[in-house]
Amino acid sequence: MDQKSSKASVAQPSRRKFLSKAVAGAAGAAAAGFPMISVAQSPISMRWQSTWPAKDIFHEYALDFAKKVNDMSGGKLKIEVLPAGAVVKAFDLLDAVSKGTLDGGHGVVAYWYGKNSAVALWGSGPAFGMDPNMVLAWHYYGGGKELLDEIYKSLNLDVQSFLYGPMPTQPFGWFKKPVTKPEDVKGVKFRTVGLAVDIYKDMGAAVNPLPGGEIVPALDRGLIDAAEFNNATSDRLLGFPDVAKVCMLQSFHQSSEQFEILFNKKKYDALPADLKAIIKYAVEAASADMSWKAIDRYSTDYLEMAEKQGVKFYKTPDSILRRQLEAWDKVMAAKEAENPTFKKVNDSMRAFAARAARWQNDTLVDYKMAYNHFFAKRPAAKKS
């Protein structure tokens, strides 16, 4: 290579770099002649309804979830939640969301018991000894979610379902006087929902599955004799202490229930990936937050009903709890015989519980022992 060609090879890249800068500068100058245009994305608005009265803490949980989504999305998604009855009746929520009358909703799976008895397995009965958080573990890691989606699809329900919010064991019920033996339930006009209807019927009760907001008025008018709903705070807010003074604690009829968040599937599928991710993590965050809030609020209202409203709380006798389990055996056998889907869901839950419940029972310490050590009254030391 001679000296002249060497100089040319060096000069060419410099010339290209100069031309590139000139073109970029011209483009920048041209752009500067036009105003900057900011295209803000319009927020996606959704109208929801819960299955709960506005004053119930359950409706508050629905609002809590919506707020998490609204805040995390930075205003890109805005969910408004109305109370039960604002658009449709509580038990009509699932159909309303599927049809698009509502964009979404907040309730419990057991309310859809009339469409397929298998769905009530997500809330009714003893769940083979699993607590509510373990049922959620089965749902998300043991195949439950896929089974519930399959059921909704078979019913032509166009919904996207998320389960969350483990509920503490529900009371056996509110009565006019203490229930001391299984025979005391016979002939009682009683309110419950889901497969618990079958349990109480087998125990001899006449069951009426009323929505939450209708229970206390029915008790007050004598249309029912006794009822269960869910927890100390809900029961207090709904007015149970005004119409009954006896509450029987501990039961297997709904010892492992959880909440359900519903979206109209077309609306959900149309959301961008980032909003779907926000919804997913908002479900998990709301589940934890709800369980923490429940401990604080339920324990406070439990004590205040006892100390300020004259409510007498009794532990449900073991004879009644065993009778519930015997009734559940009959319910499972009958439902499995008439509904293959029921058996499919039940088998899946049973297989998960066989190892998960065993692990928990073998692992967890007896917290009551520690509570009694610190808080139970001890007899004064005898003088020598």
pLDDT per position as a tens digit, 16-72 = 443 344 444 444 444 444 444 333 568 999 999 999 999 999 999 999 999 999 999
| Structural domain contains residue 317 | yes
Say how many C-beta atoms besides its own lie within 10 A of residue 266's C-beta.
13
Residue 293 has pLDDT above 60, yes or no: yes
Q: Are residues 177 and 285 in the same domain?
A: no
Q: Are residues 339 and 191 in the same domain?
A: yes
* Residue pointed to by tokens 């007896």: 366
What three-state secondary structure class fits 293? Answer: helix
Question: How many domains, in total, are found in the chain?
Answer: 2
* Cβ neighbourhood burial of 269 (10 Å; 0-12, 13-18, 19+): exposed
Q: Are residues 133 and 199 in the same domain?
A: no
Q: Which of 96-100, 133-137, 141-145, 375-379 is predicted least confidently? A: 375-379
Name residues whose C-beta falls within 8 Å of residue 263's C-beta, 6 or more positions apart in sequence: 97, 103, 104, 159, 160, 162, 279
pLDDT of residue 243: 96
pLDDT of residue 35: 42
| Structural domain contains residue 329 | yes
Kindly state the average pLDDT of the residues 146-158.
98
What is the band of 378 on the pLDDT scale with cuts at 50, 70, 90? Answer: low
| Structural domain contains residue 100 | yes
Q: Are residues 147 and 248 in the same domain?
A: no
Kindly state the average pLDDT of the residues 87-115.
96
**Digit-coded pLDDT (tens) for 318-374:** 999 999 999 999 999 999 999 999 999 999 999 999 999 999 999 999 999 999 999
Name residues whose C-beta falls within 8 Å of residue 287's C-beta, 6 or more positions apart in sequence: 136, 164, 165, 166
Kindly state the average pLDDT of the residues 4-21.
43
Q: Are residues 356 and 209 in the same domain?
A: yes
* Residue pointed to by tokens 């996606």: 44
- Its domain, for residue 281, covers 44-166+257-296
Residue 181 has pLDDT above 80, yes or no: yes
Residue 384 has pLDDT above 50, yes or no: no
Q: Are residues 204 and 337 in the same domain?
A: yes
Q: Are residues 113 and 183 in the same domain?
A: no
C-alpha closest to that of 206 among 216, 196, 197, 217: 197
Residue 304 has pLDDT above 90, yes or no: yes
| Structural domain contains residue 374 | no
Specify the CATH number for the domain of residue 206: 3.40.190.10
| Structural domain contains residue 20 | no
**pTM reported for the whole predicted model:** 0.85
Q: Are residues 59 and 144 in the same domain?
A: yes
Q: Are residues 86 and 119 in the same domain?
A: yes
Average pLDDT, the chain: 90
C-alpha closest to that of 336 among 346, 349, 325: 346
| Structural domain contains residue 16 | no
**Digit-coded pLDDT (tens) for 209-252:** 998 889 999 999 999 999 999 999 999 999 999 999 999 999 99
Residues 251 and 321: their CA atoms lie apart, in Å, by 6
| Structural domain contains residue 369 | no
Specify the CATH number for the domain of residue 153: 3.40.190.170
Q: Are residues 348 and 236 in the same domain?
A: yes
pLDDT of residue 212: 85
pLDDT of residue 23: 41
Q: Are residues 113 and 193 in the same domain?
A: no
Could you tell me the strand order of the sheet in which 189-191 lies?
206-207, 189-191, 226-227, 173-175, 246-249, 312-315
Q: Are residues 322 and 202 in the same domain?
A: yes
